[in-house]
Amino acid sequence: MLLSLVAVALSWAFFGPTFGRYRGRPSLHNALYSLGLLLFALAVSAEFLSKLLGAWNPFLYRLWYLTGAMHGVTFLGLGSLALLNPKAARGLLWVLLPFILYGFYLVVSAPLDFSQLPAPYAPSGKAFPEPSLTSPRLWTIPFNLLGTVLLAGVALYTTLLFWRKNPLRAQGTALIFLAALVLASTSTLNRFGVVGLEEAGRAIGVALLYLGVVLADRSVQYAGGRA
């Protein structure tokens, strides 16, 4: 419970300054990072509240699944792409939008069966029907895969690209890469039944991500009206 509370506190604490930077100096990458951190904060908050209540309720479960299980890294990954290439990130976002809306529809409309969960507040998607085109459980796979590849892949590429040209930016994206590895590892372990590490992994991952975003953002030159 203590680690869960730490993860919740860090998530909201890091979302605020990130959104503040977006409002002060609007950019696509800060908008996407802010949205990603907001969804992350909502997901860990929903999970923490379910533990306090002793079990999931339909609202908290659907909120957790949409913001965490399905889109925990989607917008963070798009934010990393926008840091490197805003035009490509904007185009990909428009391509993904119909699928994002369809996933939202499935999460809010699919039937729930909490008896399928291994524990009353387990962070598992098994309360939804088995994976299919009309079940949210299928759609977590492409969203998480894409988000993780973008978050880690673009961060690693940018780190290597700017290691000598812009050390500050390279240091920031290196931290983002490490954050992606931590978040992906804890999520993967959970899928294979290794539980108990999620809270620590999320707290460490979001802290690394925030520090990386701050460093990378400081290295970017802003121009009036730039996306």
How far is residue 222's CA from residue 33's CA, in Å, rounded to a whole number? 17
pLDDT at position 1 is 72
Lowest mean per-residue pLDDT among 12-21, 55-64, 84-93, 218-227: 218-227
pLDDT for residue 188? 66
How much is the pLDDT for 50? 93
What is the distance between the alpha carbons of residues 86 and 27, in angstroms, rounded to a whole number? 9
| Mean pLDDT computed over 39-54 | 92
Least confident stretch, 60-69, 145-154, 157-166:
157-166
Amino acid at 217: D
pLDDT tens figures, 106-150: 999 999 999 998 888 888 888 999 988 989 999 998 998 899 899
* CA atoms of 121 and 61, how far apart (whole Å): 9
Query: What does the alpha-carbon distance between residue 147 and residue 173 come to, in Å, rounded to a whole number?
Result: 15
For the entire predicted model, the pTM comes to: 0.84
pLDDT at 221 over 60: no
pLDDT in tens, 20-38: 888 888 889 889 989 999 9
Q: What are phi and psi of 194, to 5 degrees?
A: -90, 100
End-to-end Cα separation, the chain, in angstroms? 40
Among the ranges given (51-55, 80-84, 121-125, 183-187), the one the predictor scored with the smallest mean pLDDT: 183-187
32: tokens are 């996407």
Angle between helices 136-148 and 167-191 (to 10 degrees): 150
Average pLDDT, the chain: 86
Is 212:174 a contact under the CB 8 Å cutoff? Answer: yes
| Beta carbons of 87 and 158 less than 8 angstroms apart | no
b/e sequence 8-23, b meaning 16+ C-beta within 10 Å: bebbbebbeebbebbe
